[in-house]
A and B are shown apart, each in its own frame.
Chain A
Amino acid sequence: MCLGIPGKVTELYQANGMKMGKVDFGGVVKEACLEYLPEIQVGDYTIVHVGFGISQLDEEEAHETLKLLKEMDMIAGELPELADRQNDS
Chain B
Amino acid sequence: MKYIDEYRDEKVTRGLLDEIGRIVTREWKLMEVCGGQTHSILKSGLDQLLPPQIELIHGPGCPVCVTPLELIDKAIALASRPDVIFVSYGDMLRVPGSERDLFSVKAAGGNVRIVYSPLDSLKIARENPDKTIVFFGIGFETTAPANAMAVAQAKRQGIKNFAMLVSHVTVPPAISALLESPDVRVDGFLAAGHVCTVMGYWEYEPLVKKYKVPVVVTGFEPVDIVHGVLMCVKQLEEGRAEVENAYARSVRREGNEPAQAIINQVFEPCDRPWRGIGVIPQSGYKFREGYADYDAEMRFPDIQTIATKESSLCMSGLVLQGLKKPNQCPAFGKECTPQMPLGATMVSSEGACAAYYRYARFVNPNATSNSKEQTSKLQTSVV
Hey, which bits of chain A sit against chain B, CB under 8 A? 1-4, 6, 8, 16-18, 25-26, 33, 35-38, 45, 47, 49-52, 54-55, 57-59, 61-62, 65-66, 69-70, 72-74, 76-77, 82, 89
Contact = CB atoms under 8 A, between A and B. Distances in A.
Contacts of B249: 57-59, 61-62, 65
B55 interface: no
Interface residues of B, number: 59
Given A61-B248, A73-B15, A54 B256 contact: yes
Interface string B21-55: 01000000000001110000000000000000000
A39 to B, nearest CB: 10
Given A54-B256, A54-B259, A62-B3, A2 B36 contact: yes
A76 B19 CA distance: 7
Given A8-B2, A76-B15, A2 B143 contact: yes
A38 to B, nearest CB: 6
Nearest to A50: B146
Interface of B: 1-4, 6, 11-12, 14-16, 18-19, 22, 34-36, 61-64, 89, 91, 116-120, 138-140, 142-143, 145-146, 149, 153, 156-157, 192, 194-195, 197-198, 220, 223, 227, 248-251, 256, 258-259, 262, 348-350, 374, 376
Nearest to B153: A16
A45 B146 contact: no
A8 B294 CA distance: 34
Given A33-B119, A35-B258, A54 B1 contact: no
B250 A47 contact: yes
